[in-house]
Amino acid sequence: MISLDFQILDNPIIAWMSFLLIILLSLIIRRFISKRVIRFILNIINQKNIEGNFNEKLNKPINNIIFMIFIYIAFNQLNYPSNWDLAPSDVFGLKMILKKGYSLVLCLLIIQLFLKIEDVFGEILKYRANKTESKLDDQLIPFAIDSVKIITIILGFFIIIGNIFNVNVTALAAGLGVGGIAIAMASKESLENLLGSFTIFLDRPFTVGDIVNIGNITGVVEKVGFRSTRLRTFDRSLVTVPNKKMVDAELDNLGLRPVRRAKFNIGLTYDTKKETIKSIVEDVQNMINEHPMTNDDGRVRFMEFGASSLDIMIVFYVNSTEWDDFINTKEDINYKIIDIVEKHNSSFAFPSRSIYIEKSIN
């Protein structure tokens, strides 16, 4: 029978048993502790309806932190063998490497936990913003969450290099200040895009959800980031446009239009009589004026004599900025125009050419 005083690497068997028991205990109770912590956070912010999402995002980082704490407690039960003759933890050697390595991993896990918490709070704020009529909060929340995450990473970086690697943070900041000009010159375009994002938030030429046209790109604004704006085009592709271009280029915010305009011509055959043309123009005008989705600004006029048709211009405005409303209304009006033309026993012209052959008499 092995005595409890039996030594393994200068540590009694009871110390090794305590070490293994603590590790085993951490594997058993860490999930229970993490659930209690998550439930405590939910009670504070009064968001019990998102518990599943909270658990999914925070379980792993909290479990890892709890495990690292138990690892620290477990290793404190053991001592380094005296015959290893290790240097103290403040002198470079195995003890320093293990100590700083442990501190680094723990700090990284804590930073990861904060980033996950910020993601979850961002989703909560987005959920609340979707319930409001204003689109500004839909645009500001992702930008604010990204800003907080960047600040968290920067603070975590300075804490790590200052407390773990004993770097003089004040001197480092001063050095970065001196080299800041060179960095700014090297990242001129990135800084311009960053300033462009602030211009978008202050000037508000568009907000998330607006339909914009910039250059040859038309789409719905999905997100405004530090460097770029993401547009979802009507063919469902995602286009990333630098914020500098969004600010400098001519931008048409289709979402701010109270109406959408449709303008096109129809061509009647040249054998259509003048009275028939007048009747068709009048009937189409009345139909557009009486349509529930259009206003009274529509215009129908016999405009010109085309190469192979008598051209009637049709202009009307749909009382909606929604794309579906626009195309549905235009389709309905097109069908009714066909009915009106057929009612007057006329027909649409198509491109044609008449050839006259002159016969010469000898």
Q: Pick the more confident residue, 169 or 332.
A: 332
- For 75, phi then psi, to 5°, come to -70, -20
Q: Pick the more confident residue, 30 or 175.
A: 30
Right CATH number for 188-256 from 2.60.40.1150, 2.30.30.60, 3.40.50.150, 3.40.50.11540?
2.30.30.60
d(CA 259, CA 290): 16
CATH number of 260-343: 3.30.70.100
Measured CA distances, 338 to 65, 299, 323 (Å): 72, 17, 23
43's tokens: 């009670």
327's tokens: 């195309």
Tens-place pLDDT, residues 253-267 = 877 777 888 999 999
Q: Pick the more confident residue, 53 or 259.
A: 259
pLDDT of residue 136: 65
- Going by pLDDT thresholds of 50, 70 and 90, the confidence category of residue 323 is confident
- Going by pLDDT thresholds of 50, 70 and 90, the confidence category of residue 184 is low
d(CA 7, CA 29): 29
Rg (alpha carbons) of the chain, rounded to whole number: 36
d(CA 232, CA 221): 6
Q: How many CA atoms lie within 13 A of 347 on its CB side?
A: 6
Residues above pLDDT 90, as percent of the chain: 21
**How do 299-305 and 228-233 pair as beta strands?**
unpaired
Tens-place pLDDT, residues 97-141 = 888 888 899 999 999 888 888 888 887 777 777 777 666 666 777
Q: The sheet that has 251-253: what strands, in order across it? A: 238-242, 228-233, 217-224, 211-214, 251-253
- Mean pLDDT for 288-314 is 91
Tens-place pLDDT, residues 15-47 = 888 888 988 988 888 888 888 877 777 677 665
158's tokens: 């300075």
